[in-house]
Structure 1
Amino acid sequence: MTRPEAVVFDIGNVLMHWNPEGFYDRRLGEAGRRRLFAETGIEEMNVAVDAGAPFRATVEAHAAAHPDWAEDILCWYHNWIEMAAPRIEGSIALLRALRAKGIPVLALTNFGDDSFAYAQSQYDFLNEFDRAFVSGRMGVIKPDAEIYRQLEDATGITPDRLIFTDDKVENIDAAAARGWRVHLFVGWQAWAARLVDEGLLTQAEAGL
C-alpha cells in the first residue's frame, strides 16, 4: 500500500485533554455540573464558538442570559485553559517525530478562532503544524463533510493519501466516508503503532 502523504491530527483529547466536565465537577460537584449543563445549554454555546462565534462575547452573552449561573458560565472563558489540560506528551512526540522526517502534519479541529489563538500562546506544539484547519475560521465543524472537503481542496492531497486520527467516532466515520485513512484515538501508543504500520515511523521513532 502507498504510504500516506500527510498526517492529520485532531487536537482535543488527542494532543491535549479537553475536559470541561472535570473542571465543573471540581467546582460544583457532579450533580451541580449536570444541572449547569442541562439548564443552560453551555455545550451548545461552545459549539457556536467552534463554528465561528466570538469567544468572549459569546460566553458573556450566554452568562447574561442565565443570571443564576452567570459566574459559572463565565469560567468557560476565564478558566478555559484549565479545561484544556494536561498535554498528551506521547502524541506531541509523534507530531514532532513525523515533522522531523519531513512528513506534513496538519490539524483538523473543532476550535474557536479566538480560543485557538489563545491556546497557541499557551501550548508550543499548536504552532508546529504545517497547517492548522480550525473550524472557527472555516465556518463549518466536524463531522460536516464540507470541512473535510475544504482540507482536501486546500492541500491538493487525495483522500486515500491522508491519515486522520480523532477521538470521536462520528468524525472518523465522516472522514472514512470520503476515503480517508482513519484511526480512532484511544491513546497515543495505539496511534503510534498505526503510524508504524503505515510506514511513516519506525518503532524507535514512534517511542514504542
Structure 2
Amino acid sequence: MKNIPATDFFIFDLGNVIIDIHYPETIAYIKTHVAPALHSRVDQFYLTDFHLNYEKGLISTSEFRREVRAYFETNWSDDFVDHLWNSLLGKIPSERLALVQKLRKKHKVGVLSNTNEIHVNAVYQILKNHHGVNNLSDLFDHVFLSHEMSLAKPDPKIYRTMLQNLQTTPERVTFFDDLAANVTAAKQLGIHAIQVTNPQVIFDYLSHV
C-alpha cells in the first residue's frame, strides 16, 4: 500500500473508476439526433442548471425528461431520453469488482458518486446482466449517491456528510475519483484522495493491500 496511514475506508467514485464512461461519444451521439443549430447546446448540456439539479435530486426524473425535451426542442419519448442519457455508460470490468471484494475482506468499502435515478437504474441493470449482482449495496458497505443526498461533489458538504455517516475522521479514508476538482476538495478536508487518470491507477495504488 502506498503511503496510506491507517486507512479504514476505501471510497470509490463510479464514473471512470468503477464503470467506464464515454463523454465524447455520448456528446457526438446526441448531436446526431439534434438539429445542427442546437449543437452548441449539446456541448453545454452537462453544465445546465437542470442537469446539476437532477444530480442533486432537486428535480424528479419526469421533470428532468421534460427539461431535456425543452432544451433540445424535441418531442422525444421518455424511453428515448433515457436511452440517450444512458449511452454515457460503458462496461463495468469484472477485475474492478474483484478488487473491491478483495479490499472488503479487511476494510470497509464504499461509493461516493455524482449520479441520478436514470443512471443508477441502468448501472443496476448492467450489474445484474453481466455480474449477477442486484445493486451497489451487494458490493459495497456504504453507498453515497448525490441525488439521494441533495448534494454533489466537489461541495465540501458532501464529503462531511459522508464522514459523519461513516463515523470516522478524514485521515482514515482513501478516496478515488477521476476529476481533479473532486480530488482537490476531498484533500482540503484531510481525506487521502487519488485522481484516477487511467484504468490502471487503482490497481497500481492498491497492489499491496
Per the normalisation by structure 1, the TM-score is 0.80
Q: Secondary structure at the match of 2:11?
A: strand
Q: What amino acid is the match of 1:16?
A: I
1:39 to 1:184, Cα distance in 2 relative to 1, 3 A = closer
Q: Give the share of equivalent positions with the same residue, in percent.
A: 21
2:27–2:43 Cα contact (<8 Å) kept: no
Q: Find the aligned partners of 2:141 and 2:76 in 1 and give their Cα distance.
A: 38
Whole-angstrom distance in 2 between the partners of 1:142 and 1:118: 21
Measured in 2, the distance between the counterparts of 1:39 and 1:24 equals: 6
Q: Distance in 2 between matches of 1:39 and 1:74?
A: 19
Does the residue aligned with 1:148 lie in a helix, a strand or coil?
Answer: helix
The match for 1:81 is: 86
The Cα shift of 1:25 comes to 1.4
Indicate yes or no: 2:71 matched with 1:103.
no
Q: What is the CA RMSD across the aligned residues, in angstroms?
A: 3.0
Asked if 2 retains the 8 angstrom alpha-carbon contact of 1:59 and 1:76, the reply is no
Q: Are residues 1:68 and 2:73 paired?
A: yes
Q: CA 1:93/1:32 → structure 2, altered by over 3 Å: closer, same or farther?
A: farther
Distance 1:42 1:113, change over 3 A: same
Change (3 A) 1:192 1:66: closer
Q: Which moved more, 1:59-68 or 1:173-182?
A: 59-68
Paired residues for 1:83-162 under 5 Å: 83-99=88-104, 101-113=105-117, 115-123=119-127, 124=133, 126-127=136-137, 128-162=139-173
Give the match's secondary structure for 2:64: helix
Please report how far the alpha carbon of residue 170 of structure 1 lies from its aligned counterpart in structure 2 after TM superposition.
0.3
Query: Which aligned pairs between 1:161-180 and structure 2 lie closer than 5 A?
Result: 161-180=172-191
Q: Point out the more displaced range, 84-93 or 34-43.
A: 34-43
After superposition, give the CA deviation of every residue in 1:25-70 in whole Å (9 maximum; x if it has no partner).
Answer: 14535x9789445269532233221110345313322144236344
Cα distance in 2 between the residues matched to 1:40 and 1:28: 9
- TM-score normalised according to structure 2 size: 0.79
* Cα distance change, pair 166–40 in 1 and its aligned pair in 2 (3 A): closer
Query: 2:58 matched to which residue of 1?
Result: 53
Q: Secondary structure at the match of 1:71?
A: coil
Match of 1:193 in 2: 204
Distance 1:38 1:56 in 2: 20
What's the counterpart of residue 193 of structure 2?
A: 182
2:17 is matched with which residue?
14
Aligned AA for 1:2?
P
Amino acid at match of 1:166: D
- Distance (whole Å) between structure 2 residues aligned to residue 10 and residue 66 of structure 1: 28
CA offset at residue 163 of structure 1? 0.3
Greater helix content: 1
SS in 1 for 2:174: strand
Number of equivalent positions: 197
Q: Is the 8 A contact 1:55 1:77 kept in 2?
A: no
Deviations 1:96-145 (A, max 9, x none): 2212x231101000011454244224323633110100110111100000
